[in-house]
Structure 1
Amino acid sequence: MKLCALSPRRAAIVVAVEDASPTDAVARRLRELGFVAGERVEIVAKGPFGGDPLLVQVGFTRFALRRAEASRIRIDADARETVA
């Protein structure tokens, strides 16, 4: 499942960040920001117009990501849990 398809206020586990090319700077930056395998991630909120941008929390840090960026992040939806 892709991160952009995750429902708000649900947690999941990052599986991988997919590279669009061998030297994909966006994928590399996402990994540098903490989107690495095994890390907990959740969508905190979605923007009002088409759901863009997404407010995403990975670890204790929040980022605004475009849907195109979030679609590069594969998650394990079975590991998700409800966040209080």
Structure 2
Amino acid sequence: MDGAAVNTLRLADLTPGKSAVVTAISGAGRVASRLMEMGFVPGTIVEVLRRAPFGGPVQYRVHGCSVSMRSAEASCVSVETDSLQNRTARRASSQLELAAG
């Protein structure tokens, strides 16, 4: 990646305003299936929109949709960040917002 720092972490560890690419889904079969049904599949760009106070749900943007989930479920999603992917995610997000309205 031409010197770009790659950082692999859990989706639950990302802070609002950050984006990443899903690399893997773990957890019990039912949880993993539900996450994939919601659009959290490897290769997908995810952006953290906001965190509810006191450990409440976190709101994410995935495939142009807003999705909220608890930290326990978000911990089952492995993501990878680097500066190039973050620029790409912001650009794609902006294009989706322009197209939506």
Structure-2-length-normalised TM-score:
0.72
Task: Quote the RMSD (CA, aligned, Å).
Answer: 1.6
Higher strand share: 1
Select which of 14, 34, 48 maps to 1:6. Answer: 14
How many residue pairs align between the two structures? 80
Q: Following the alignment from structure 2 to structure 1, what is the Cα–Cα distance between the partners of residues 74 and 60?
A: 9
Which of residues 18, 22, 26 in structure 1 aligns to 2:26? 18
Equivalent position of 2:33 in the other structure: 28
| Structure 2 counterpart of 1:11, one-letter code | S
TM-score (norm 1): 0.85
Greater relative contact order: 1 or 2 (C-alpha under 8 angstroms, separation 6 or more)? 1
Higher helix proportion (structure 1 or 2) = 2
Q: How does 1:58-69 map to 2 (within 5 A)?
A: 58-69=62-73
SS at match of 2:57: strand
Q: Unmatched 5+ residue regions in structure 2? A: 1-8, 95-101
The one-letter code sitting in structure 2 at the alignment partner of 1:15 is T
SS of residue paired to 2:40: coil
Alpha-carbon distance between aligned partners in 1 of 2:58 and 2:20, rounded to the nearest angstrom: 15
Identical pairs, percent = 36
Q: Which runs of 5+ in 1 are unaligned?
A: none
Task: Supply the distance in 1 between the matched residues of 2:31 and 2:67 (Cα, whole angstroms).
Answer: 14
| Alignment match of 1:37 (pick from 36, 42, 51) | 42
